[in-house]
Structures are given as C-alpha cells and as structure tokens.
Amino acid sequence: MIGRRGFLLGSAAVAGGLAVGYRVLTAPLPNPVEPDEGEAALNPYVLVTREGVTVIAPRAEMGQGVQTTLAALVAEEMDLDWSEVRAVHGPASLAYANSRIIALGLPFADYRESWVQELAEGAMELGARLMAMQLTGGSTSTADAFERMRRAGAAARVMLVEAAARRWDLPAARLRTEAGAVLAPDGARLSYPDLAEAAAALEAPRDPPLKPRAAWRLLGRSLPRLDMADKVTGQAEFATDVRLDGALFATVRTNPHLGAPMLRFDAAEAERMPDVVRVLDIGNGIAVVARTTWAAMQAAERVEVDWADAPYPSDTDAIFAGIAAAFDAPTQMALRDDGDVDAALADPRALRAEYRAPYLAHTTMEPMTASALYSDSRLILWAGTQSPTRTRESAAEVAGLAPEAVEIVTTYLGGGFGRRAEFDFTDQAARIAVAMPGTPIKMTWRREEDVRHDWYRPGAIARLVGLPGPRGPEALKADIAAPSIAATQIVRQAGMAPPGPDKFLVEGCFDQPYAIPAFRVQGHVANVAVPIGFWRSVGHSHNTFFTECFLDELAHAGGQDPVAMRLGLMRDEHAASARVLRTVAEMSGWGTPLPDGVARGVAFCFSYGSPTAQVVQVRQTDRGLRVERIWCAIDVGIALDPRNIEAQIQSGIIYGLSATIMGQITFAGGRVEQSNFHDCEVLRMDQCPAIETRILESGESPGGVGEPGTPPVAPALANAVFALTGRRIRQLPLVRELAFA
C-alpha cells in the first residue's frame, strides 16, 4: 500500500511501475509516486494497489473537502465505486504544481476574459511550474484539477482497458469498465489490481477522451466525504497526532516585536523545571523541548529574554498613520480608469467617505504545529501545510540539507485560511529536530504565540468619492492604501512578485462588474513592516466592504433601491452576476415590508470566478443587534459536489461574519495586544444566524467556492445596520460601535 510509509521509506521497489509524467505540463516530469511491490502508479494521480485504486489528491485538506472532490474527478473517469475509493495527499512535488494560482496575481478583472489575459496566464503557468509551487489556495484547486485529474483518470482507464484487451485478445472497443474492473462482452471480469502491472508497461495515451457531463455518475452529486468517518472518531491525523515512538514535545516563544531578533536569553530557571529536556536558541526566540507539551509551554514562559525593537510603528494609530501616508506617495498604475473621473467628480453633489479595516489574525482552530525527525542526514516533517514544496525548500535550507533529503508528509490541516501557506512554523520544527538528532519532536504553539505571530490580513484605508445620479452612480473614484501582499507574501512564496501593479491591493473593487461611466481605482502601497499574508479572500476581504458600503451610500443618496441600482450597473456588463443578485433578492423577499426593528442589507462580490450575492437580516433586541438570517446566491459555473459547496459557503460566511462583528488585531508597544480566545473573540454557536444558500451553474468549468462566501458579508451586514439604525459605520469591526446579541 502506498501510504505514508511508502514515501517515508522512499521505497525503491518499482514493481512494474512506470514513470509517466502527465502531459498537461509542457514536458513530462518524473512521477513522484513510488509504488511498493505489487503496486503500479499509472500516472502521478493514480496508484493501483492490491486492494484497489488510491487517488493522489495533492491539495491540502484543510476542511474544504478538496480531497473528496479531486478523488471524484479521477474516480468518475475510471468508473470506480465510490465506497472503494481512497485518497492520499502524496508527496511534495513539482508534478503537482498549481498552474492556476499565479494567475490570481495578474492585474486583470477575472470576469472580463480576454486574449490578453489568456496569453499572460499561459506565461504564468510556465512561471508557476518553474517556481514549483504546489500550493493550496486562491480557491483554485478544483479549477486547476478539473481537466488535469479527469484526464489522469481517463488515461489510466485507457491503459487498463488496453491491458485487458491484450490479455483476452479482444479489441479494446468491445470492453467496458464498471466498479473498478474491465468487463468483456461475455461477462468475464478483470479487476484493476489484476491489470495494473500490465497497464503500467503501456504507453500513456496523449489525449484520452473525457466522459460527457451527461454521463457523470459521481460528479455533480453530493458524495460522502472521504475524511468524514476519521474526523468524527478522532482518528484523523493532524501534524502532532502522528505516532512516533520516543517523541519529545516542544513549543516556541519568539519575539513579540514581529520581524525583530532576540538579543539575549537566560534559560537557567526553565532548564531546572520538571520534565524539561532542553532550551534552544532559534534565532528570533527560544524553543523548549520537554517530556510533555505542557511542561514545554510552562518553561517557555520562564525563560528570560531581551527582545530587539519592532521594525514598525509601535501602536495601532501610528501604524494606520503609516498606511494613510501612502495616499501621498506616488500611486500605482490605475487598474481601472474608465471615463473622465476628474470632470465628473468636480460636481459639488459628489459624496466623500473614508473607510477602514483592521489587521486580522487567522486563528485556525489548530494552532501552528509540526512534527519532525532528523536522523542520518535526512529530515522528515509532518505538517499541515498549504505549500509543501516551498516548505521543503525552506526546511532544507534551515537544516543545511539538499531538498531531496527532506520529506514532507502533509497531514490534515486544522484549518488553513491562508495561514498554513506560510512556513515559519515548519522551519522552527526543522531547527529543533536538527538539534535533537534521532529524537522525534512534536511541536505545538501556544494559542498566545499563534495570535501574536501571525501573517495578518493587512489593515487598509479607502478614500472614496462618488457622484450619485438618478439611474445610479455616474462616477466613482476609489483610492485604497494598504501594505502590499504581492511585495511580501508572494515574494516569500515564489521568490518574485507578479508583474505590474499589486492586484491584491485593489481586488474586490476595480474588478467588479459595474458599468459606472466614470470609474477609477488606484492602489497605494503602504510601507509598514507588520507581517502580512493571505487571509481568506485576501484583498476582497476589505475592498468589498469599502466598495459595497459606499455603493449603498450612493444608492441612498440617489434615491435608489440598492438591489435595483446594482442590477442596472451590471446587467449589460456581466449577466451571470446580475442573475445571482436577482436570485438572492428573490430568495430573501427583498423589498417586502418588514416588522419594526428588522432590516436588511445587500452586497455582492465577484471573486475567484464565482459571482456571489448576499442579503443579511438584522433584528434589534434588548441585548443588542442580532444577525438573524443570511441568504446567499452563488454561481459556481459547474457544481461538482453541491452539499460540500454549501458547507464552504456557510464556512466562508461565518468566517467573514466573525471578523465583521468582532475581529481585530491591535498593537501597543510594538506587540499585538490580543492573545487568546478571551480577547481575540470569534463567532460562537449562539450568534450564528440561519444561512440559506442557492447554487447556480452557468459555466463550463468550476469556479472557486472556498473564499467567495467571505467578502459580501461585511458590507451586507453594515448596510443592514444602516437600514435599521441610520448609522453608517465605516470602520470594522462593528463591535467598536454596536452591541451584538
């Protein structure tokens, strides 16, 4: 069987195995799957074991159900029985690079598909491959795999059928496949495991035909998730759940002035504590190795440390002053500049507003963790990572090893949301393991470390000017200032920034399907060194709040209904977007009278290929505002697994709602002020509204679903608050100004 063992031991037994690089990449790459004896890897995604087929689903399972959907792509084409399908993440490999991810950084509006964009995407696809990014993020996994993994399944099926045809001496065209076996016209049956070795010796077909959509049996259906049983019995393995004999436990404590080094430390007291084994210098802080995680955590607190100062202003106000200063610096090229904005906005009726969004932590349910073992000049890292290839490269550097001497075992992730695209925590585990040769290490961050050492969603400020008109806004100018994710996260990840202006800075604004006659959007890169990174839906997470709230202001100023006004702007620009907005209006009964003390707000966002509209209903209660109901309509192009998509939409909404109401990271003395769930609160069961989702399908390929649920909820809620109270709140989180029940 494949399994983690197969990779760990680096089994060299290629029993009838054949390295077939899949040709979707421009040239074949070696097959990273190393079959054990009696197994055969028909391509990088299909391993036939003695028991059946194991699909390599090389994207991080962080809750989004991706392994189930990716496995279904292969299982569909191979005619596997769903109950027999197994999926594993597989090794870190260039063969699994995500060809879609880099396109996200390109400065084009996704809904306007044009040849220029396609050309650039092609160039970037090559770039992505050269950079070897096996990355789970940007809601790209399914879109990236849709063609590739179905072709892999289809190719494997062709090879298995051909092997059976030769065995029976019958033409392949007379054979069919069903439930993991090839069937002859007379009913004779050869199972895939029986054929695997012979199939592996055949040449992989170049262009295996795909099933038409009408013939799908698995895709388009709600399938039971492959990880569900393990997750309800406590058997699912996260990074520190791996069984490792003789393991010791570790935690770290690093400089709370983020990005700055440690000056000196004294561990004498910590080292005398019971169960403590060692205290290590890890550069920007210390690590404690102990006999229990708790002992390590207790001791970490007792180390005396002098920290160097933070490389950014020391408190929130000064940090935001730094962000605001970017408005005075030279601007980036405008990514949208339609009509004569300056002339239109010279009108004295123009509205002006400034909006702000705070820094945000990810607070994945599982704090950062990793296990590691260094022995015989090899390092094995067990980690929940969204970025295994980059993680390996960096851990190798830390350990002074060649990347080939480092194996990454990607376990389940206890939440990702972008946080686990980073490799700070895996580098630490590598460092600790190297200092403890032969001893497996299980490292767990304290929650306080996790909240205070994140790569935060950046704070951002928008200055908006708009001219309301009788048929909708006549002009809109948006200036957005924030630190640049392209210049930091992407450079960390890929070694270079995407070409052109930073799209993340203005996405969710410039790229929305609104035909406003005069429309300009400009980004201003702020130079503030607080660590930042991808946070579920990235730039959309704040820009949708700014844009959709301000559009609401313009609707009210122009005396229009917010839904009707948006429909007017998008009808001719993008039909699918208009359809989701109409759908959510219909679902929620938009426009029907509401009882006193109840109000609704609407918002829309086109992100990751999936236009999404939401209506939020709030009620005034004695204990504060209650978010009662949320309606969401999303067009996902093709819905591969409707029940899982619904879960993702709920997830995205609740994650966004939590941030909208109560999420913020603030600074004092160069440190993050929040530390754990008592002061870094997140939404709980009793505040969770009823959510109704409708999934539309108007496309040829699947759009993203992991992130699009998040952006509209903040503005839809703030717009509902305005409808209820007449107060326009322009700064998040809302709890700064309102009580919520």
Strands 460-467 and 40-43: unpaired
Which residue, among 317, 333, 347, has the nearest Cα to 510 in the 3D structure?
333
* 562 three-state secondary structure: helix
Instruction: Decide if residue 415 touches ligand FES (CB under 6 A).
Output: yes
Closest distance to ligand FES from the beta carbon of 63 (Å): 5
Q: Of the two residues 365 and 496, which places its CB atom closer to ligand FES in the complex?
A: 365
Single out the residue of 6, 16, 63, 712 in contact with another protein (rule: CB under 8 A): 63
Which residue, among 566, 511, 542, 541, has the nearest Cα to 706 in the 3D structure?
541
Q: Of the two residues 9 and 365, which places its CB atom closer to ligand FES in the complex?
A: 365
Binding marks (x or -) toward another protein, 347..386, rule CB under 8 A? Answer: ----------------xxxxx-------------------
Stretch that binds another protein, among 28-36, 84-92, 220-228, 581-589 (CB under 8 A): 220-228
Total residues binding ligand FES (CB under 6 A)? 3
Residues in the chain, how many?
741
Using CA atoms, how far apart are residues 323 and 480, in angstroms rounded to an integer?
10
Q: Fill in the amino acid letter for 26.
A: T
Q: Helices in 28-140 by DSSP H: which ranges?
A: 66-78, 115-130
Q: Fill in the amino acid letter for 226.
A: L
Closest distance to ligand FES from the beta carbon of 570 (Å): 34
Closest distance to another protein from the beta carbon of 664 (Å): 16
Q: Of the two residues 63 and 523, which places its CB atom closer to ligand FES in the complex?
A: 63
Single out the residue of 64, 541, 544, 612 in contact with another protein (rule: CB under 8 A): 64
CB-CB neighbours of 261 under 10 Å? 12
- CB-closest chain residue to ligand FES: 365
User: HSE of 188 in the Cβ direction (CA atoms, 13 Å)?
Assistant: 13
- Residues of span 645-664 touching another protein by CB under 8 A: 647, 650-655
Q: Of the two residues 522 and 541, which places its CB atom closer to another protein in the complex?
A: 541
Using CA atoms, how far apart are residues 607 and 612, in angstroms rounded to an integer?
8
Which residue, among 192, 237, 183, 194, has the nearest Cα to 85 in the 3D structure?
192
Q: Of the two residues 419 and 574, which places its CB atom closer to ligand FES in the complex?
A: 419
Using CA atoms, how far apart are residues 656 and 710, in angstroms rounded to an integer?
5
CA 722 to chain centre: 31
Q: Are 339 and 527 in contact (CB under 8 A)?
A: no
Q: Of the two residues 365 and 739, which places its CB atom closer to ligand FES in the complex?
A: 365
With CB under 5 to 8 Å by kind, the binding choice for 644 among another protein, ligand FES, none is: another protein
Single out the residue of 6, 17, 35, 65 in contact with another protein (rule: CB under 8 A): 65
Closest distance to another protein from the beta carbon of 470 (Å): 41
Q: Of the two residues 358 and 367, which places its CB atom closer to ligand FES in the complex?
A: 367
Q: Are 615 and 588 in contact (CB under 8 A)?
A: yes
Binding marks (x or -) toward ligand FES, 14..53, rule CB under 6 A? Answer: ----------------------------------------
* 298 three-state secondary structure: helix
Residue 741, both tokens? 């029940």
Q: Helices in 52-107 by DSSP H: which ranges?
A: 66-78
At which residue do the structure tokens 């309102």 appear?
Answer: 738
Instruction: Decide if residue 236 touches another protein (CB under 8 A).
Output: yes
Residue 462 bridge partners (DSSP): 355, 480
Single out the residue of 229, 263, 268, 739 in contact with another protein (rule: CB under 8 A): 229
Q: Are 163 and 199 in contact (CB under 8 A)?
A: yes
Which residue, among 601, 618, 540, 492, has the nearest Cα to 104 in the 3D structure?
540
Contacts of 638 (CB under 8 A, 6+ apart): 146, 213, 220, 697, 699, 700, 701, 702
Q: Fill in the amino acid letter for 153.
A: G
Contacts of 253 (CB under 8 A, 6+ apart): 285, 286, 287, 288, 300, 301, 303, 305, 446, 449
Stretch that binds another protein, among 183-191, 312-320, 551-559, 643-651 (CB under 8 A): 643-651
Q: Of the two residues 189 and 231, which places its CB atom closer to ligand FES in the complex?
A: 231
DSSP 224-235: PPTTHHHHHTT-
Closest distance to ligand FES from the beta carbon of 192 (Å): 33
Closest distance to ligand FES from the beta carbon of 518 (Å): 44
Q: Are 341 and 477 in contact (CB under 8 A)?
A: yes
Single out the residue of 63, 498, 531, 704 in contact with ligand FES (rule: CB under 6 A): 63
- Residues of span 144-203 touching another protein by CB under 8 A: none
Q: Of the two residues 462 and 680, which places its CB atom closer to another protein in the complex?
A: 680
Stretch that binds another protein, among 164-172, 219-227, 488-496, 557-565 (CB under 8 A): 219-227
Q: Of the two residues 318 and 739, which places its CB atom closer to another protein in the complex?
A: 739
Q: Are 687 and 658 in contact (CB under 8 A)?
A: no
Closest distance to another protein from the beta carbon of 368 (Å): 12
- Residues of span 266-295 touching another protein by CB under 8 A: 274-275, 291-295
Single out the residue of 227, 315, 354, 573 in contact with another protein (rule: CB under 8 A): 227
- Burial of 206 per CB tally in 10 Å (0-12, 13-18, 19+): exposed
Q: Of the two residues 192 and 417, which places its CB atom closer to another protein in the complex?
A: 417
With CB under 5 to 8 Å by kind, the binding choice for 650 among another protein, ligand FES, none is: another protein
Binding marks (x or -) toward ligand FES, 475..514, rule CB under 6 A? Answer: ----------------------------------------
Q: Of the two residues 11 and 676, which places its CB atom closer to another protein in the complex?
A: 676
Instruction: Decide if residue 668 touches ligand FES (CB under 6 A).
Output: no
With CB under 5 to 8 Å by kind, the binding choice for 111 among another protein, ligand FES, none is: none
Using CA atoms, how far apart are residues 488 and 372, in angstroms rounded to an integer?
27
DSSP 435-475: HSTT--EEEE--HHHHHHS--BBPPEEEEEEEE--BTB-SE
Under the rule (CB under 8 A), what is the footprint of another protein?
61-65, 222, 224-225, 227-238, 240-241, 243, 249, 274-275, 291-295, 297, 363-367, 412-417, 442, 444, 446-447, 643-644, 647, 650-655, 676-678, 682-686, 688, 690-691
Under the rule (CB under 6 A), what is the footprint of ligand FES?
63, 365, 415
